[in-house]
């Protein structure tokens, strides 16, 4: 690289016209490290915390390996101290009026503005990312995030009435994420009144600096605490009784303590280049996505076969012009991220080559060059693995349909861009891709107002926009998350066996007879096990038998639900509403039968009638809401709209609570259907018969497979559903043990779960039963960016 040569004279440069080094002074970053004697501790409760007898790790310059400072490694006590501080601060902070919190966030934004140079040089020095990206991208965005969320805090009492802050938020930052990723999460948390403990990977001083800046504002020292330590401390932080929410999907560790979880919450992105694209601009999009230090991960590139050669030629030509080098150089595209990132990339490139791929490298980089992998056999391990920075893996497709199949065929789903000048095609692809963010003819745009998140194994948490706020809120009055962890729960045997049932005495027949069978694929079927379970009424008399569902029945129900997905998603919201309203009418006709069923379970007839009436109201309310989904965002820098879409999750499994056997069943069903999901439901264990009564109407009204109801042993059915990889989300209302099992087991495909942790819920109260929470959980958000211009 030019910087290492002897300095050429102006005369020589005049001939060669080469680029020279444009070094940015990092003196202020070093001076800041000096104020800590090059020895960084943790920043807790507005003070530096430097406990004795801790290991420390060096923080190195990613190019020279020179040690810049040492960082202390936290231990469990330090985590406890930080959580304690955050807990104490929470009492004050959450009690403040929103306007005061807004004021404080704005002061922090100002503070960042005053020290921005220190912030960007330190970040670029340590992370090795190109300074341009930190200076022009990250730091201004960090300020905007604070400003945006200050506004949200200001309007919180009005806009978010009925919600309250969760409490202390534990955030575990992975090594590949920058301080900006931290800001995306702490800003909404602080805005709504939560306080935060961030566990940063060792040797990342920028979050510590941010915490110091926040601490030096004086007033609320404990709201942001940063400790540095190994990822193994994550579970310690997350399972602390005061921590209400964890930032990363440590689900299995959290539920299961100690079990491994491969965190696939990656930064890999996807780019689909069609033949109708402006290829040169798309090539720039690839540079943005993979080789400009904007993103943390690699890129999967899908190119339409007809433009494959042309794209490859342009891409390789472009790669040769990329400049890599020291992050603090003002004229490089790509900085240098240290040995760990290089080893990862090297390993991937090596593996890909040995699996038969072509590996093309170009560009001027002292560390690891931009890398393009093509012709990777589809079944090779590399084709399935996550692509690391700075690697691009290119493969071809023939039609848009095929592109969708390939793109959706990975377990990851964070972000993607579609390059096509044909509006219809671009929208078809944009809507069809199962990812959190889609950019049309652009890549990597971000804005504080646009929610960003992922689906599938990229995790289901959101940040930015209104969706980001709800991550740190819970409906008012919901009990705080208490530890319900039970050491005794055996994951291997939970719900494994079904107790056998025998005839249970005389059947005091109700009239008409109870519907019998599992409601699967639109009709009642005999259960696979060919056995039944007795249902007793409140006096202990036999009320009737219901079918005993098992693993095979769950499999059948999930299949039936999958077959119904495309038809139901394709229905307009209006059509969905019509069906829900029709079901409500049918329920009204059946009112007396339903009420008498409920009455037999020990309810007053009056209350039973109220429950039926509330149920019909739920169906109508959700039917009405089906038509008000998603909206358009207008974003400052972007000419054109960003569509915030609410997309169905797919097949949603619901294990209904024992309380309110009809109302809970109908509320959950209505919310799920209104958002376009198809469902597999396990009704109340004690009183499943009203739900089966409703099935009789659904058999007549709804498309087959849309709703499937499986009765039987709840633990067993829960086990089958939680371990099913092709169920996209699971709601569980039951015992604490069941909740723990569901959280543990669902880690298999990281499906979003919603569990009640053994706490009953007041379904008759409008605010909760029909409230926004159900709606939030019944669909996922997608942001679709549509830049315009000609």
Provide, rounded to whole angstroms, the least separation between the CB of residue 301 and other proteins: 16
Quick one: which segment of 213-221, 270-278, 457-465, 539-547 binds other proteins (CB under 8 A)? 270-278
Q: Any contact of residue 633 with other proteins (CB under 8 A)?
A: no
Size of the site for other proteins (CB under 8 A): 40
Backbone torsions φ then ψ of 269, nearest 5 degrees: -125, 175
Q: How far apart are CA 455 and CA 435, in angstroms?
A: 6
Mind spelling out the 3-state secondary structure of 637-703?
CCCCEEEEEEEECCEEEEECCCCCCCHHHHHHHHHHHHCCCEEEEECCCCCCHHHHHHHHHHHHHCC
Q: Which is nearer to other proteins, 2 or 489 (CB)?
A: 2
Q: Any contact of residue 305 with other proteins (CB under 8 A)?
A: no
Q: Any contact of residue 631 with other proteins (CB under 8 A)?
A: no
Q: Any contact of residue 446 with other proteins (CB under 8 A)?
A: no
Q: Any contact of residue 262 with other proteins (CB under 8 A)?
A: no
CB atoms within 10 A of CB 778: 26
Provide, rounded to whole angstroms, the least separation between the CB of residue 135 and other proteins: 9
Q: Any contact of residue 640 with other proteins (CB under 8 A)?
A: yes
Provide, rounded to whole angstroms, the least separation between the CB of residue 182 and other proteins: 25
SS3 418: strand
Nearest to 583 by CA among 689, 700, 691, 705: 700
Q: Any contact of residue 447 with other proteins (CB under 8 A)?
A: no
Residues near 765 by Cβ (< 8 Å), separated by ≥ 6?
none
Q: Any contact of residue 159 with other proteins (CB under 8 A)?
A: no
Quick one: which segment of 200-208, 279-287, 297-305, 449-457 binds other proteins (CB under 8 A)? 279-287
SS3 597: helix
Provide, rounded to whole angstroms, the least separation between the CB of residue 64 and other proteins: 21
SS3 276: coil
Cβ atoms of 547 and 517 within 8 Å: the answer is yes
CB atoms within 10 A of CB 414: 23
CB atoms within 10 A of CB 305: 12
- What is each CA distance from 457 to 180, 266, 267, 294, in whole angstroms? 22, 8, 11, 22
Q: Which is nearer to other proteins, 19 or 431 (CB)?
A: 19
Q: Any contact of residue 426 with other proteins (CB under 8 A)?
A: no
Paired residues of 60 in beta bridges: 67
| DSSP summary character for residue 546 | E
Q: Any contact of residue 20 with other proteins (CB under 8 A)?
A: yes
Q: Any contact of residue 153 with other proteins (CB under 8 A)?
A: no
Quick one: which segment of 118-126, 274-282, 470-478, 721-729 binds other proteins (CB under 8 A)? 274-282
Q: Any contact of residue 6 with other proteins (CB under 8 A)?
A: no
Q: Which is nearer to other proteins, 78 or 333 (CB)?
A: 333
SS3 104: helix
Provide, rounded to whole angstroms, the least separation between the CB of residue 63 and other proteins: 19
> Two tokens at 37?
């004697």
Q: Any contact of residue 13 with other proteins (CB under 8 A)?
A: yes
Q: Any contact of residue 258 with other proteins (CB under 8 A)?
A: no
The packing angle between helices 139-154 and 98-114, to 10°, is 170
Q: Any contact of residue 19 with other proteins (CB under 8 A)?
A: yes
Q: Any contact of residue 18 with other proteins (CB under 8 A)?
A: yes
Q: Any contact of residue 784 with other proteins (CB under 8 A)?
A: no
Binding mask 404-423 for other proteins (x = CB under 8 A): -----------------x--
Q: How far is CA 36 from the centre of its chain?
A: 36
> What are all long-range contacts of 538-542, with beta carbons under 8 Å and residues at least 24 apart?
538/600, 538/601, 538/602, 541/505, 541/508, 542/504, 542/505, 542/506, 542/507, 542/508
Provide, rounded to whole angstroms, the least separation between the CB of residue 341 and other proteins: 21
Q: Any contact of residue 636 with other proteins (CB under 8 A)?
A: no
Q: Any contact of residue 7 with other proteins (CB under 8 A)?
A: yes
Q: Any contact of residue 639 with other proteins (CB under 8 A)?
A: yes
Q: Which is nearer to other proteins, 277 or 391 (CB)?
A: 277
Near other proteins by CB under 8 A: residue from 141, 331, 704, 767: 331
Q: Any contact of residue 17 with other proteins (CB under 8 A)?
A: yes
Ramachandran bin of 421, using left for φ above 0, alpha for ψ from -120 to 50, beta for the remaining angles: alpha
**Which residues form the interface with other proteins (CB under 8 A)?**
7-14, 16-22, 132, 136, 276-278, 280-282, 284-285, 313, 321, 330-333, 421, 441-442, 639-640, 787-790
């Amino acid at each position: 690289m030019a910087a290492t040569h002897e300095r050429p004279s102006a005369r020589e440069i005049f001939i060669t016209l080469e680029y020279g080094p444009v070094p940015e002074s990092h003196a202020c970053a070093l001076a800041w490290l000096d104020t800590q004697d090059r020895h960084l501790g943790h920043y807790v409760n507005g003070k530096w915390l430097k406990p004795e007898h801790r290991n420390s790790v060096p923080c190195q310059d990613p190019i020279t390996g020179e040690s810049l400072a040492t960082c202390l490694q936290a231990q469990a006590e330090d985590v406890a101290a930080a959580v304690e501080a955050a807990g104490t601060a929470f009492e004050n902070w959450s009690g403040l009026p929103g306007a005061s919190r807004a004021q404080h966030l704005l002061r922090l934004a100002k503070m960042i503005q005053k020290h921005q140079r220190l912030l960007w040089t330190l970040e670029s020095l340590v992370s090795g990312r190109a300074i341009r990206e930190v200076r022009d991208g990250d730091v201004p965005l960090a300020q905007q995030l604070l400003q945006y969320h200050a506004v949200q805090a200001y309007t919180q009492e009005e806009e978010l009435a009925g919600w309250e802050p969760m409490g202390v938020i534990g955030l575990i930052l992975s090594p590949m994420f920058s301080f900006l990723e931290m800001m995306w999460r702490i800003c909404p948390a602080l805005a709504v009144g939560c306080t935060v403990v961030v566990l940063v990977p060792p040797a990342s001083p920028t979050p510590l600096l941010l915490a110091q800046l926040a601490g030096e504002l004086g007033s609320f020292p404990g709201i942001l605490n940063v400790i540095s330590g190994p990822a193994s401390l994550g579970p310690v932080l997350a399972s602390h009784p005061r921590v209400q929410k964890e930032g990363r999907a440590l689900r299995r560790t959290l539920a299961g303590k100690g079990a491994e979880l491969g965190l696939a919450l990656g930064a890999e992105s996807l780019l689909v280049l069609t033949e109708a694209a402006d290829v040169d601009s798309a090539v720039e999009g690839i540079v943005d996505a993979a080789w400009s230090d904007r993103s943390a991960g690699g890129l999967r590139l899908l190119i339409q076969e007809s433009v494959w050669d042309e794209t490859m030629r342009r891409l390789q030509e472009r790669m040769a012009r990329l400049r890599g080098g020291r992050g603090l150089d003002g004229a490089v595209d790509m900085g240098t991220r240290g040995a760990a990132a290089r080893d990862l990339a090297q390993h991937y490139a090596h593996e890909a080559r040995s699996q038969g791929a072509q590996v093309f490298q170009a560009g001027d980089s002292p560390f690891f060059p931009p890398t393009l992998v093509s012709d990777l056999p589809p079944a090779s391990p590399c084709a399935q693995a996550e692509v690391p920075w700075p690697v691009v893996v290119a493969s071809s497709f023939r039609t848009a349909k095929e592109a969708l199949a390939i793109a959706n065929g990975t377990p990851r789903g964070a972000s993607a861009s579609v390059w096509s000048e044909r509006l219809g095609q671009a929208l078809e692809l944009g809507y069809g891709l199962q990812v959190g963010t889609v950019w049309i003819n652009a890549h990597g745009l971000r804005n504080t107002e646009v929610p960003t998140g992922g689906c599938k194994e990229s995790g289901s948490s959101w940040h930015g926009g209104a969706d980001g706020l709800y991550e740190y809120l819970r409906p008012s009055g919901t009990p705080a998350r208490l530890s319900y962890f039970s050491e005794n729960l055996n994951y291997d045997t939970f719900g494994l066996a079904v107790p056998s049932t025998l005839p249970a005495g005389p059947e005091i027949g109700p009239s008409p007879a109870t519907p019998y069978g599992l409601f699967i694929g639109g009709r009642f079927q005999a259960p696979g096990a060919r056995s039944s379970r007795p249902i007793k009424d409140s006096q202990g008399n036999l009320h009737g038998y219901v079918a005993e569902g098992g693993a095979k029945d769950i499999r059948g129900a999930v299949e039936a639900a999958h077959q119904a997905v495309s038809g139901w998603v394709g229905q307009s919201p209006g059509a969905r509403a019509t069906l829900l309203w029709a079901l409500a009418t049918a329920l009204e006709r059946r009112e007396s039968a339903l009420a008498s069923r409920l009455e037999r379970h020990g309810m007053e007839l009056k209350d039973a009638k109220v429950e039926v009436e509330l149920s019909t109201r739920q169906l109508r309310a959700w039917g009405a809401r089906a038509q008000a989904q998603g909206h358009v965002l207008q974003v400052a820098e972007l000419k054109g709209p960003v569509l915030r879409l609410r997309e169905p999750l797919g097949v949603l499994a619901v294990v209904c609570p024992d309380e309110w056997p009809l109302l809970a069943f109908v509320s959950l069903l209505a919310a799920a259907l209104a958002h376009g999901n198809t469902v597999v439901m396990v009704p109340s264990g004690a009183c499943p018969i009203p739900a089966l009564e409703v099935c009789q109407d659904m058999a007549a009204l709804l498309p087959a497979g849309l709703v499937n109801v499986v009765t039987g042993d709840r633990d067993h059915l829960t086990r089958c559903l939680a371990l099913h990889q092709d169920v996209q989300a699971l709601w569980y209302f039951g015992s604490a043990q069941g909740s723990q099992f569901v959280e543990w087991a669902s880690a298999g495909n990281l499906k979003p779960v919603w569990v009640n942790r053994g706490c009953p819920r007041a379904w008759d109260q409008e605010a909760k039963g029909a409230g926004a929470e159900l709606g939030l959980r019944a669909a996922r958000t997608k942001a679709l960016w549509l830049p315009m211009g000609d």
